[in-house]
């Protein structure tokens, strides 16, 4: 069930990443270094492998790692609203549904703890994406 929800969220989210990659490649194709490589006789595979991919890899890595938190939040929200996983299966959204009642939280305050890992995981993936983008950026000096 969880795998199915992950596949559905991935199928809904890949179009934005594909559009970003296509627009970045179209912009890089018109750059001077790509035109110079073609004029020097480089084959299309070499232009792609040596010039285009290294220049858009940082953008691709950042986009991919920044889309993971949105998928995590999507699954959590679907489970919280009752459209995703159901209570026999453990999910952050299912755990948050159980903490929704104030009487339950008063008796069992540890039920609010699933909020902390959700926030920490999303922040960790955001910081990971920023760090990987900075590490793979060919224009970064230093």
Residue 90 pLDDT: 78
Which residue would you say has higher pLDDT here, 45 or 115? 45
pTM over 0.75: no
Chain CA centroid to CA 53, Å: 19
Decide if pLDDT at 80 tops 60.
yes
Rg (CA), the chain: 21
Element (H, E) at 54: helix 53-81
Residue 141: pLDDT band with limits 50, 70, 90: low
Q: Tokens for 101?
A: 């009642």
Q: Which of 78, 36, 34, 88 is CA-nearest to residue 56?
A: 34
Chain segment 28-78, per-residue pLDDT in tens: 889 999 999 999 999 999 999 898 888 888 788 888 888 888 888 888 888
Decide if pLDDT at 133 tops 90.
no
């Amino acid at each position: 069930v969880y795998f199915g929800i992950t596949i559905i969220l991935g199928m809904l989210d890949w179009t934005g990443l594909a559009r970003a990659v296509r627009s970045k490649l179209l912009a890089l194709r018109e750059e001077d270094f790509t035109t110079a490589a073609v004029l020097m006789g480089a084959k299309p595979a070499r232009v792609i492998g040596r010039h285009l991919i290294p220049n858009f890899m940082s953008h691709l890595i950042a986009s991919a790692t920044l889309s993971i938190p949105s998928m995590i939040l999507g699954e959590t929200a679907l489970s919280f609203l009752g459209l995703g996983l159901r209570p026999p299966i453990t999910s952050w959204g299912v755990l948050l549904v159980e903490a929704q009642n104030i009487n339950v939280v008063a008796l069992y305050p540890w039920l609010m703890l699933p909020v902390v890992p959700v926030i920490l995981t999303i922040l960790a993936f955001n910081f990971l994406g920023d760090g990987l983008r900075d590490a793979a950026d060919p224009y970064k000096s230093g």
